[in-house]
Structure 1
Amino acid sequence: MRTLAPFDRVLAAGRGRARLWMVTKRALGSGRILALALSVLIAGGLKAQAEQKPPPGRLVAMRIFGSRRYSEAEIVRATELRLGAKAAPQAFQEAADRLAATGAFSDVNYTFSAKPGGVAVEFRVTDGGDFVACNFDNLVWFSEMELRAQLRQMIPLFAEEIPLKGDIPAKIEAAIAHLLKARGIPGTVTIMGAGEMGGALRALQFNVSGVRLVIQQVEFSGAQAVEPTALIAAIQPLLGADYDQTFVREFVRRNVTPLYARRGYLKVAFAAPRASVLAGSSQEVAVTIAIAEGDPYNLGEVHWEGNLVFPSGELAGHIHVLPAQPADTVQVEKDLEEIQTLYNTKGYLAAQLNFKPAFDDRARTVALDVQVREGDLYTMGKLEIAGVDPERAEALKKTSELLPGQPYSRAYWSTFISKSGRLLPASRTPWKASQKEDVHPDTKTVDVTLTFSPDTGK
């Protein structure tokens, strides 16, 4: 005979045998139960004993299966179930709800069964896929190690990466607010997303607003190849600025990296800035940045690809860094800009040049593979002269040596303007001219308007 019995009665039945209760929960963020199935097979003799008051069921065993991201102990902690505590189906359902609410799992299933002395439960989970880095910005009152350690104690499943959805970000926000309040620090904890422009979100960043932190000191550790005076000059604008880790990191990347690149240190890396409150102050901070300089590289061969207008030998003559010298890529980039201007003089207005380094770590040399994209040839269209009377405008137009249909040269007009003074009317102040280009991609032509006016200094 099959009988559907209450959970506690099955535990009380001496000769009863509960095979399985199974609850399946698909974590969709809403916490709704999609399927609930209870199936119990009871042997004979249950009826008489079920009339007795059963002893309370205790949780005697718990197992977790399915996660590669978290350990079993971490997930057990997140369920908030305790071995030896009173066990009921509702408690298991609430534990499944808690796991689903974290956003860490796409599916949460559980089963429970009677065991000697109580009940055992098993959870089977499927890891979710939407995780991002957890970063901290201006929480200067804690070291990052200290802060992460405290958050691990306060929040189950807290780690270097956290679910983008679910309640863990809000729990981190609340925990940080609690830690700040305990230290008497005002301000509001905020969460910001971080990622490339137009790209996917790669991190959640926690910071404190409403508290001004002023940078008073900046120190570099591990710096040997660049003189301290050069580093000090590079970061001088940071002193007195408000501390923001993202801003400081980007500032260092833009202003300190070139100092190393000029010396051939092409693999220099900077650790995340670390800030600490200065003694005797609540708002002034010292910033420390660790540098991993790497090895210096000398320039090897420079290879050209995609160039048809100019031969490789001519282009190579514009590179001012010689083989076997420190691979000054800052100078190389300037040289490529010069070559791009050279293309502009021949009508190739969309020319682009980029290089990729090919490192030989054993020889400590770097070859540069320069990719040239010449683009389309543009020719001269119409020339208009404004700011002077029509007769003078026509006279000026006739002096132009860049005629319609010829390859357009962006650099020509400075020469034209410098020679036009003899045809302009007398003026108490020198004449100046502004240049406007109308580029037509459909016809591959460029119309130019030059506007002359007396230079009044305004």
Structure 2
Amino acid sequence: MLFSFYLLIVPERFAAAQTHPAERRLGSMRVTGQKHYSEQQILAASGLHKDDPFNDNALNAATQRLGQTGAFEQVSFRYRFAGERAEVEFLVKEAGKFHRCSFGNFIWGDPRELEERLRREVPLYDGQAPESGGMLDEIAASLERYLKTKGVAGTVEQTRIGALNDANWDHLFLVKGPRIKIQSVAFQGRQAVEEAVLQREAKPLIGRNYSLMDCMLFGQGTLVPFYRERGYLRMRIEEPLAKVLQHVEGSNDYTMEIAYRLTEGIAYRWEPAEWTGNRVLSAGELDKMTKMKPGEVAGEKKIAQGWETIAQMYAGKGYVAARLKAEPVFDDTAATVHFRVTILEGAQYRMGKFEVDGASEALEKRLRGKWRLQSGEIFDGGSVKEYMQAAFRPGALASAEGAGRVSVETHLNEENLTVDVLLHVQQ
């Protein structure tokens, strides 16, 4: 959890007759220690203004306001007088992490309008926010005021969204209350693919409850692969736009349109790869394994399958630690692509030990008997999958004898270049 220090540094006092406290006002103000925010943003968030009456309580309150935002780990101030003007310096240490803010189902108005409002009402908002703290509440309150200007009845909730164990998650702000259904899908920038074809791909969206994140995932998971399988390997898709189509006065029901913004790019055709690092397999053998022909549409899925076939071939020859790095080289004039492929073959591994735990003596004997590799033989990287499919398929001996839950581990011994296989059985 973030924390804040509030520290008042009191300057030396001038003689009482020099200036009456009631006449003192704020003069210049500055900030030091910041990296993420500008001085202007921090001073705006403090709530202080030049020429405000000066008093210690006002400075303490400003320091507390900044600390409670969650954007700072430490905030302190010091000041000195130049005549009747207090020259104030805030010393800050910002929070260690800020996260992008996303607005999941805000379909009312232009997104730029929403951004401008937030930046105006929440001075520290810049598209990101700290992990916790009062700034998140400020953003939610500003969003609720925005909804009222649009005549929308709803409250705003904040949550987190991101991949499991990913430190770069987003703050997600959602409107609760309105019922929003997707009625239609549009495609901006579409040129190469017929509208009807894309509409067919987008049909699963129609009638669904609107969620920006769901629509973004659909775009990346369905539309982008659709294009790239047709050779548009540099196709990009931006965050979709949302537009209200219909709202019955007095209700909280909305129908809306999603507009995907596409940059299709060029449909590329395949040219043979450049191979480096390969010793075990020749360039000709590798070319055949890609199953790609010169001039063929460079479909992303088929290309990936070729790389996988090559990896499996190396693993089958004992090169289970082999790695393949493929870098595309695009020729936009010729509309072709070839790959510079670097293969790190590594060492050849041999079979080590095959062990079984958790099985009865009789079952263990049978399981050992079904393993085909002997110690010292070249290890086939596909042998484990082959074994599991054969030994534990429905109706197989091991399955019939009650080998319930089964898991398998492989251990690469880099010193002696062997692979041990350990089978865990729960009967």
**TM-score range for the pair, normalised by the shorter chain length:** 0.7 to 0.9
Which secondary structure does the structure 2 equivalent of 1:76 belong to?
helix
Match of 1:74 in 2: 41
The amino acid of 2:242's aligned partner reads A
Match of 1:244 in 2: 211
What's the CA shift for 1:171? 0.9
Match of 2:404 in 1: none
What's the CA shift for 1:161? 2.3
What's the CA shift for 1:202? 4.2
Q: Distance in 2 between matches of 1:348 and 1:58?
A: 79
Q: Is the 8 A contact 1:307 1:373 kept in 2?
A: yes
What do residues 301-334 of structure 1 show as CA deviations (whole Å, max 9, x unaligned)?
Answer: 4133454543331121122333454432222112
Q: Distance in 2 between matches of 1:97 and 1:432?
A: 70
What do residues 14-57 of structure 1 show as CA deviations (whole Å, max 9, x unaligned)?
Answer: xxxxxxxxxxxxxx734432x53330243xxx66x88xxx4832
Q: Distance in 2 between matches of 1:159 and 1:372?
A: 44
Change (3 A) 1:230 1:277: same
Change (3 A) 1:445 1:41: closer
1:111 lines up with 2:68 in the alignment: no
What's the CA shift for 1:447? 9.7
Bigger shift: 175-184 or 435-444? Answer: 435-444
Q: Distance in 2 between matches of 1:151 and 1:279?
A: 26
1:32 lines up with 2:6 in the alignment: yes
Q: Distance in 2 between matches of 1:413 and 1:73?
A: 65
Match of 2:86 in 1: 120
Q: Is the 8 A contact 1:133 1:162 kept in 2?
A: yes
Which secondary structure does the structure 2 equivalent of 1:252 belong to?
helix
Change (3 A) 1:337 1:72: closer
1:334 lines up with 2:305 in the alignment: yes
Please show how residues 304-323 of structure 1 align to structure 2 within 5 Å.
304-305=275-276, 307-323=278-294
1:275 lines up with 2:242 in the alignment: yes
Q: Is the 8 A contact 2:99 2:128 kept in 1?
A: yes
What do residues 379-424 of structure 1 show as CA deviations (whole Å, max 9, x unaligned)?
Answer: 6999xxxxxxx9xxx9xx99x996756665659979x99xxxxxxx
Change (3 A) 1:304 1:55: closer
Please show how residues 150-189 of structure 1 align to structure 2 within 5 Å.
150-181=117-148, 183=150, 185-189=152-156
Which secondary structure does the structure 2 equivalent of 1:189 belong to?
strand
What's the CA shift for 1:218? 1.4
Q: Distance in 2 between matches of 1:139 and 1:377?
A: 56
Q: Distance in 2 between matches of 1:191 and 1:434?
A: 54
What do residues 253-301 of structure 1 show as CA deviations (whole Å, max 9, x unaligned)?
Answer: 1211123223332222111122222223523221111112234444344
Which secondary structure does the structure 2 equivalent of 1:200 belong to?
coil
Q: If you compute each CA radius of gyration, which structure gives the higher value, 1 or 2? A: 1
**Structure 1: runs of 5 or more not aligned:** 1-27, 383-389, 418-430, 449-458
The amino acid of 1:289's aligned partner reads Y
Q: Distance in 2 between matches of 1:358 and 1:304?
A: 13
Match of 1:12 in 2: none
TM-score w.r.t. structure 2 length? 0.74
Match of 2:195 in 1: 228
Q: Is the 8 A contact 1:63 1:72 kept in 2?
A: no
Bigger shift: 129-138 or 369-378? Answer: 369-378
Change (3 A) 1:446 1:284: same
Q: Is the 8 A contact 1:349 1:378 kept in 2?
A: no
What's the CA shift for 1:204? 1.5
Counterpart of 1:90 (choices 54, 57, 72) is 57
* Identity level (%): 28
What do residues 196-246 of structure 1 show as CA deviations (whole Å, max 9, x unaligned)?
Answer: 432313431211245442222111101112232332222222222222212
Match of 1:7 in 2: none
What's the CA shift for 1:162? 2.5
Q: Is the 8 A contact 1:138 1:243 kept in 2?
A: yes
Counterpart of 1:290 (choices 261, 271, 287) is 261
Which secondary structure does the structure 2 equivalent of 1:147 belong to?
helix
Match of 1:6 in 2: none
The amino acid of 2:213's aligned partner reads T
Match of 1:258 in 2: 225
Q: Distance in 2 between matches of 1:446 and 1:351?
A: 19
The amino acid of 1:197's aligned partner reads L
Change (3 A) 1:86 1:379: closer
Q: Is the 8 A contact 2:31 2:42 kept in 1?
A: no
Change (3 A) 1:227 1:174: same
What's the CA shift for 1:127? 5.8
Q: Distance in 1 between matches of 2:268 and 2:102?
A: 33
Q: Distance in 2 between matches of 1:181 and 1:204?
A: 22
Change (3 A) 1:432 1:338: farther
Q: Distance in 2 between matches of 1:196 and 1:38?
A: 50
Q: Distance in 2 between matches of 1:121 and 1:73?
A: 16
Q: Distance in 2 between matches of 1:87 and 1:342?
A: 77
Please show how residues 138-153 of structure 1 align to structure 2 within 5 Å.
138-153=105-120
Q: Is the 8 A contact 1:138 1:244 kept in 2?
A: yes
**Structure 2: runs of 5 or more not aligned:** 355-361, 400-406, 413-417
Q: Alignment RMSD, CA only?
A: 4.2
Change (3 A) 1:68 1:363: farther
Q: Distance in 1 between matches of 2:208 and 2:274?
A: 43
Q: Distance in 2 between matches of 1:150 and 1:288?
A: 23
Q: Is the 8 A contact 1:321 1:332 kept in 2?
A: yes
Q: Distance in 2 between matches of 1:264 and 1:127?
A: 49
Match of 1:299 in 2: 270
The amino acid of 1:158's aligned partner reads Y
Which secondary structure does the structure 1 equivalent of 2:11 belong to?
strand
Q: Is the 8 A contact 1:438 1:447 kept in 2?
A: yes
